[in-house]
């Protein structure tokens, strides 16, 4: 195989429907460590929408194919990566250099020369992608399920996995999830799967009902409540279940100033606040609460590739329900899908599957 005909949908101008692009991949021009992955599916993330609608700048100039939650099959390799031929893989959303101070200090997720599909290079809303082989995550041959469904592990599932790992959440701890959309919902599932006592907070009752169907019983609809009332209900749930009254792990996944303010106000004695969601909005907090409660706040950016293998194993053992929380759509409907996700019309995580 010398040439591979590829098709993708690229963002040409902010706010306008992605345009179809066709090109040829010359496999003879691959670098020694590069792979061509035939894409099985690519999840639609709100980061993609921020590039498309909000004018958040991609590192690579437009036009650019977006998408960073990718799974697929290796169909061509460079000379030193031939062992990957035919393997099914998940492509981490962040591909670090592996050599810099950040990478050597266990912070490869913030590598300053990292490559992110759909930001630094063409991404996954396409039939094929060219990526370096170093950080690929092999899907075991024992997996007999749908490869496209695993694409969301690359970000929506891996991001809360790293946040949970860094918070040192363990069996019997109280985990409070603020904002239970895609990332927050998976955070709740992961926390429950390791034996934490989970409380989910969201303004959308439908989201919370979906989590109840997955066995997460303790939820609070926050839309009509002030923060004092919400905190009171959280304390009541903890008391009624005889759970730990300190050391709560709070995961802010809403990416909204109101959610961030609430999450900070929930921090109590020896608590840990993990900031997972992002907003350009500002919040006003009394930072001394961290001192007074001997608590800490942790920022979380994506997930370092080193954690993907344990996460994939955990997911395949049943730690996360992907089937009931995702929905697959044809890649050619990307314009319609972006509009629907942006307007909040999709209850499930959308995965775009090539239909060429």
Query: What pLDDT, on a 0 to 100 scale, did the predictor assign at position 344?
Result: 86
Give yes or no for a contact between 41 and 148, defined as CB atoms under 8 angstroms apart.
yes
For residues 336 and 47, give the distance between their C-alpha atoms in angstroms, rounded to a whole number. Answer: 17
Evaluate if residue 19 carries a pLDDT over 70: yes
pLDDT, one tens digit per residue, over 86-137 is 999 999 999 999 999 999 999 999 999 999 999 999 999 999 999 999 999 9
What is the tens place of the pLDDT at every residue in 329-339? 999 999 999 99
Task: Write down the residue that tokens 């998940």 correspond to.
Answer: 90
Query: Is there a contact between 234 and 167 (Cβ–Cβ < 8 Å)?
Result: no
**For residues 22-46, average pLDDT:** 97
pLDDT band for 356, please (50, 70, 90 cuts). Answer: confident
Q: What percent of the chain stands above pLDDT 90?
A: 96
| The predicted structure's pLDDT at residue 55 | 85
143-180 per-position pLDDT tens digit: 999 999 999 999 999 999 999 999 999 999 999 999 99
171 token code pair = 């069996």
Q: Is pLDDT of 1 > 80?
A: no
Contacts for 10 with CB less than 8 Å, ≥ 6 apart: 18, 19, 21, 62, 63, 64, 65, 66, 122
Condensed to tens digits (0 to 9), the pLDDT of residues 227-279 reads: 999 999 999 999 999 999 999 999 999 999 999 999 999 999 999 999 999 88
Interval 271-300: pLDDT, tens: 999 999 988 889 999 999 999 999 999 999
Q: List every span in the chain annotated with CATH 3.90.180.10.
A: 3-155+303-353
The top-level CATH class assigned to 158-299 is alpha beta
Tokens at 62, concatenated: 């437009």
Query: What is the pLDDT averaged over residues 72-78?
Result: 98
List the structure tokens of 186.
């998976």
- The closest of 156, 167, 160 to 267, measured between CA atoms, is 167
Average model confidence (pLDDT) for the chain?
96
CATH fold for domain 3-155+303-353: Quinone Oxidoreductase; Chain A, domain 1 (3.90.180)
Q: What is the pLDDT of residue 95?
A: 96
Domain ranges in the chain with CATH number 3.40.50.720: 158-299
Length of the chain: 356
Q: What is the DSSP pairing of strand 3-11 with strand 64-65? A: antiparallel
């Amino acid at each position: 195989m010398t040439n591979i005909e590829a098709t993708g949908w690229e963002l040409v101008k902010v706010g306008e429907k992605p345009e179809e692009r066709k090109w040829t991949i010359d496999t003879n021009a691959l670098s020694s460590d590069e792979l061509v992955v035939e894409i099985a599916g690519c999840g639609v993330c709100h980061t993609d929408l921020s590039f498309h609608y909000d004018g958040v700048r991609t590192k690579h100039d437009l036009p650019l194919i977006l998408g960073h939650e990718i799974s697929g099959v290796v169909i061509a390799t460079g000379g030193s990566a031939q062992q990957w031929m035919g393997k099914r893989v998940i492509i981490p959303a962040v591909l670090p250099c592996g050599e810099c101070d950040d990478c050597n200090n266990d912070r490869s997720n913030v590598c300053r020369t990292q490559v992110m599909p759909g930001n630094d290079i063409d991404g996954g809303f396409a039939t094929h992608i060219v990526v370096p082989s170093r950080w690929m995550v092999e899907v075991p041959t024992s997996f007999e399920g749908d490869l496209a469904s695993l694409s969301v592990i690359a970000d929506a599932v891996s991001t809360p996995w790293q946040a949970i790992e860094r918070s040192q959440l363990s069996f019997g701890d109280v985990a409070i999830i603020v904002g239970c959309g895609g990332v927050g919902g998976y955070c709740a599932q992961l926390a429950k799967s390791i034996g934490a006592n989970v409380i989910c907070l969201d303004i959308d009752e439908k989201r919370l009902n979906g989590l109840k169907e997955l066995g997460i019983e303790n939820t609070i609809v926050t839309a009509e409540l002030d923060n004092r009332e919400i905190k009171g209900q959280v304390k009541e749930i903890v008391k009624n279940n005889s759970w730990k009254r300190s050391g709560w792990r709070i995961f802010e996944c809403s990416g909204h100033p109101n959610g961030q303010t609430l999450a900070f106000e929930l921090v109590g004695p020896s608590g840990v606040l993990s900031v997972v969601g992002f907003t350009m909005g500002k919040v006003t907090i009394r930072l001394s609460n961290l001192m007074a409660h001997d608590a800490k706040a942790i920022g979380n950016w994506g997930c370092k590739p080193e954690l993907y293998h344990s996460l994939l194993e955990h997911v395949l053992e049943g730690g996360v329900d992907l089937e009931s929380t995702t929905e697959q759509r044809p890649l050619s409907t990307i314009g319609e899908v972006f509009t629907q996700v942006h307007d909040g019309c999709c209850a499930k995580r959308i995965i775009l599957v090539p239909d060429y």
